[in-house]
A and B are shown apart, each in its own frame.
Chain A
Amino acid sequence: KQEVTQIPAALSVPEGENLVLNCSFTDSAIYNLQWFRQDPGKGLTSLLLIQSSQREQTSGRLNASLDKSSGRSTLYIAASQPGDSATYLCAVTDFGNEKLTFGTGTRLTIIP
């Protein structure tokens, strides 16, 4: 059974700093890994999708990496802004049953 873990559960950093969020998963047989952000009471917004054959994806100030063999992914946020404050979740699509398994998320607060 796939298990996805995100540590830390919460993180506060001053505005302007670069930061890294971590995601680990137990079963490397995945199609892909996706990073989402969720604002309070809202749905999820997809940030980046990394296919299992890829090592990283970039979008603006965001960079996500994937090391399938070690079961890890990181989301790097450069030059953080208060608008980046949200909960960040990673999810893997399991090979074979195609459902997404989510981590519990990291609640990020950027301090102005």
Chain B
Amino acid sequence: RKEVEQDPGPFNVPEGATVAFNCTYSNSASQSFFWYRQDCRKEPKLLMSVYSSGNEDGRFTAQLNRASQYISLLIRDSKLSDSATYLCVVNYVGAGGTSYGKLTFGQGTILTVHP
């Protein structure tokens, strides 16, 4: 079983649609969670961190369910510029306790927003 699993898509949605991506992780001791965005032929960039209480940044809402080991990203009112690959990222800090932990990336979910 992969440590971080995402539905690869692709998701094709019209402008203005609401779309949700899901991600599951296998290590119950994982401690921090993020969504990164990667445009075609570009590097991944941090979209948002994911907090236990859920958090929102404009049209983007991230949720974490530790009991089910499940993370989600909701995009409302999709724009053409939202077209990208969305990467779920999970961090596990082991017994060594170093600050960086061990990041594991999902394979990414491809989103295409069309006019």
* Genuine A/B complex: no
Interface residues of B (CB under 8 A from A): none
